[in-house]
């Protein structure tokens, strides 16, 4: 029973296994001049216009807002994939600090790409290396094979081996990246974080991050993660960090393709998030529902909300739906300010 007298139940902390915190500011952005009609055009006309306009303050407040909204959904851990081509150096530390301030754990990566020339790729690699060698928790990030040269892919894979971490990379999200399997076959290892894999034509070693809502939004088709041998984790690809909401959608999409499928499959994807954040199993999230841990109920129960979150350390970071370490109204106001600056640049 919660403080207000309503029936409640608890779970461990949720893990968002693939996020782009910078997209927290994208909501409400001006529409592109020309209507995008393909996955590639969505990247070119929306995300690649947005990421190049980001500066340090925008990165900081988008991370703060994204982390706060995550916590309000019971998500205590975020695996983030970041790109800000005009503000690369130090960007991962800004995100790490902003999320830590709210009370959310992160595993961060800077998405290396040759879209801005080989110097851009080199600086992206350097940011991953700087952050990880400095004790940051994360992986080596790569945007995707189709925006990188073979030299850059090999350099990222080599750096990851040197640092003892995996590579966090978008793989065959759309048809433009259908060659990813062939190009990564000799590089990928079991600790790689393979995002999407919709058009992947073979088995690669690694963990597959499935993002059903984003795949639907980009009209790239169903990834069929349960048909693969890899372990699967669940992400949002930047559309918030409400993992029970994403799980409901993941279940609907799975079930659409196989009427015998069980929500237990989706719950193994949720559970695999603890591979990177085992300590989140000891977090306690109190929900506005007495059965938040029963998959068959949750997939048919819209609107579950996290009321309180207590981290494994014993610290309460969310109380009655509000963050305890930061002022929710202030975070929203600052993020709105930064979003307006961003939209002006666009």
For 33, which DSSP code? S
Closest approach of Zn ion to the CB of residue 322, in Å: 29
Nearer to Zn ion, 19 or 248 (CB): 19
Is 51 a residue that touches Zn ion (CB under 5 A)? no
Nearer to Zn ion, 11 or 218 (CB): 218
Long-range contacts of 129-133 (CB under 8 A, 24+ apart): 129/159, 129/163, 130/89, 130/90, 130/92, 131/92, 131/93, 131/96, 132/163, 132/165, 133/163
Binding residue count for Zn ion, defined by CB under 5 A: 1
Q: Find the length of the chain.
A: 346
Nearer to Zn ion, 127 or 237 (CB): 237
Residues 8-27 contacting Zn ion, CB under 5 A: none
Closest approach of Zn ion to the CB of residue 18, in Å: 6
Closest approach of Zn ion to the CB of residue 195, in Å: 5
As separate numbers, helices (DSSP H) first and strands (DSSP E) second, the chain gives 12, 13
Closest approach of Zn ion to the CB of residue 232, in Å: 15
Closest approach of Zn ion to the CB of residue 166, in Å: 15
Candidate segments 3-11, 237-245, 248-256, 334-342, binder of Zn ion by CB under 5 A: 237-245
Is residue 247 exposed (0-12), middle (13-18) or buried (19+ Cβ within 10 Å)?
Answer: buried
The span from the CA of 108 to the CA of 83, in Å, is 11
Element (H, E) at 6: none
Nearer to Zn ion, 80 or 245 (CB): 80
The span from the CA of 91 to the CA of 50, in Å, is 15
> What is the arrangement of strands in the sheet containing 9-11, beginning at the earlier edge strand?
9-11, 284-287, 306-310, 316-319, 322-323
- Residue appearing with tokens 């069980």: 262
Q: What is the number of the residue whose Cβ is closest to Zn ion? A: 237
Closest approach of Zn ion to the CB of residue 170, in Å: 5
Nearer to Zn ion, 131 or 193 (CB): 193
Nearer to Zn ion, 208 or 304 (CB): 208
Candidate segments 110-118, 232-240, 256-264, 318-326, binder of Zn ion by CB under 5 A: 232-240
Closest approach of Zn ion to the CB of residue 239, in Å: 10
Closest approach of Zn ion to the CB of residue 214, in Å: 7
Distances (CA, A) of 319 to 307, 309, 324, 325: 6, 7, 7, 10
Coil, strand, or helix at residue 60?
Answer: helix
Nearer to Zn ion, 237 or 289 (CB): 237
Coil, strand, or helix at residue 84?
Answer: coil
Is 176 a residue that touches Zn ion (CB under 5 A)? no
Candidate segments 7-15, 90-98, 131-139, 234-242, binder of Zn ion by CB under 5 A: 234-242
How remote is the C-alpha of 119 from its chain's centroid? 26
Is residue 117 exposed (0-12), middle (13-18) or buried (19+ Cβ within 10 Å)?
Answer: exposed
Is 237 a residue that touches Zn ion (CB under 5 A)? yes
Nearer to Zn ion, 114 or 289 (CB): 114
Candidate segments 142-150, 233-241, 244-252, 275-283, binder of Zn ion by CB under 5 A: 233-241
Candidate segments 66-74, 94-102, 230-238, 335-343, binder of Zn ion by CB under 5 A: 230-238
Q: Which ranges of the chain would DSSP assign to H, the alpha helix?
A: 39-42, 48-52, 56-71, 91-102, 117-133, 150-163, 180-184, 212-217, 243-257, 263-272, 295-298, 328-345
Closest approach of Zn ion to the CB of residue 311, in Å: 26
Candidate segments 88-96, 139-147, 229-237, 331-339, binder of Zn ion by CB under 5 A: 229-237
Coil, strand, or helix at residue 283?
Answer: coil
List interacting residues with Zn ion (CB under 5 A). Answer: 237
């Amino acid at each position: 029973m919660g403080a207000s007298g309503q029936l409640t139940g608890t779970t461990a902390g949720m893990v968002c296994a693939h996020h782009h915190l910078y997209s927290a500011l994208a909501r409400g952005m001006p529409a592109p001049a020309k209507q995008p009609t393909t996955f590639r055009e969505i990247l070119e006309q929306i995300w690649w216009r947005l990421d190049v306009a980001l500066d340090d303050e925008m990165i900081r407040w988008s991370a703060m807002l994204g982390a706060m909204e995550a916590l309000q959904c019971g998500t205590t851990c975020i695996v983030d994939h970041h790109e800000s081509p005009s503000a690369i150096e130090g960007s991962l530390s800004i995100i790490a600090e902003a999320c830590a301030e709210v009370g959310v754990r992160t595993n961060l990566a800077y998405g290396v790409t040759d879209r801005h020339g080989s110097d851009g790729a080199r600086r992206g690699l350097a940011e991953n290396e700087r952050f990880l060698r400095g004790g940051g928790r994360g992986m080596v990030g790569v945007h995707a094979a189709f925006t990188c040269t073979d030299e850059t892919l090999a350099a990222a894979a080599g750096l990851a081996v040197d640092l003892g971490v995996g590579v966090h990379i978008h793989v065959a999200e759309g048809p433009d990246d259908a060659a990813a399997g062939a190009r990564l076959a000799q590089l990928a290892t079991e600790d790689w974080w393979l995002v999407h894999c919709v058009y992947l034509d073979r088995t690669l070693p690694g963990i597959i991050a499935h993002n059903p809502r984003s795949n639907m939004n980009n009209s790239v088709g169903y990834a069929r993660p349960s048909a693969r041998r890899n372990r699967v984790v669940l992400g949002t690809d930047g559309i918030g960090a409400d993992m029970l909401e994403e799980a409901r959608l993941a279940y609907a999409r799975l079930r659409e393709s196989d009427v015998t499928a069980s929500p237990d499959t989706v719950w193994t994807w949720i559970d695999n998030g603890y591979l990177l954040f085992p300590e989140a199993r000891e977090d306690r999230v109190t929900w506005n529902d007495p059965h938040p841990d029963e998959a068959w109920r949750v997939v048919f129960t819209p609107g579950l909300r996290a009321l309180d979150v207590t981290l494994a350390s014993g610290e309460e970071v969310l109380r009655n739906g509000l963050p305890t370490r930061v002022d929710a109204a202030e975070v929203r106001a600052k993020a709105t300010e930064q979003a307006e600056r961003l939209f002006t640049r666009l």
